[in-house]
Amino acid sequence: MYNVDFVCIYPYYDSTLLPYCSKKLDNNFMVEYVEAFTEEELSNCLYKANFLETFNMTEYDEDMVGKELDVLYKILVENTQFKNCMKIMANKYMSHDLTIGLSFLFSYDYFFLTHECICEYLKTNEMPTLEKLEKYIVNKK
């Protein structure tokens, strides 16, 4: 089951992603980690932890992630705008397979906005953040 009850924190430690974060964290948030690692090391580590937390896992399980993505795909493909995001992502990687597009939306550069959209949709059946995700996808080189 997709975990809608947490905020991705990895983009807060990546200066290229930080401007796209919808919430601002206290400057002292996790200071000890910031000082112990490079920005890249910290954000990569946090991305992996956030990804696992999304699927309520403590260790990566490819089969479980695949099943969860299949469930999400069936829900999200019904939303025309989100379906377009999946299409654009698939096309970026020379594919027409929307499931591939969804998988790429869970990659490091897109996951924090994708997660926010999915949480909004699963909680309220709306995606106020979707416009931000669409613009980000188009502008991301």
**Is the Cα dihedral 115, 141, 92, 84 positive or negative?**
positive
Q: Is residue 1 in a domain?
A: no
Burial class (CB in 10 A: 0-12, 13-18, 19+), 124: exposed
Structural domain span for residue 134: 10-139
Picking from 115, 112, 11, 108, the residue whose alpha carbon sits closest to that of residue 69 is: 115
Picking from 136, 111, 13, the residue whose alpha carbon sits closest to that of residue 53 is: 111
- What does the pLDDT read at residue 67? 95
- What does the pLDDT read at residue 1? 79
Geometric angle at alpha carbon 10, from 108 and 35, rounded to 5°? 130
Q: Is residue 57 in a domain?
A: yes
Copy the structure tokens of residue 16.
């290229």
What whole-number distance in Å separates Cα of residue 10 and Cα of residue 33?
Answer: 12
pLDDT digits (tens, 9 = 90+) for 73-120: 999 999 999 999 999 999 998 999 999 999 999 999 999 999 999 999
Copy the structure tokens of residue 108.
């490091």
Q: Is residue 3 in a domain?
A: no
How many structural domains is the chain composed of? 1
Q: Is residue 2 in a domain?
A: no
Judged by average pLDDT, the poorest of 31-40, 85-94, 119-128 is: 31-40
Residue 4's pLDDT band (boundaries 50, 70, 90)? confident
**Cβ atoms within 10 Å, residue 130:** 20
Mean pLDDT of 52-81: 94
- What does the pLDDT read at residue 32? 56
- In this prediction the pTM is 0.78
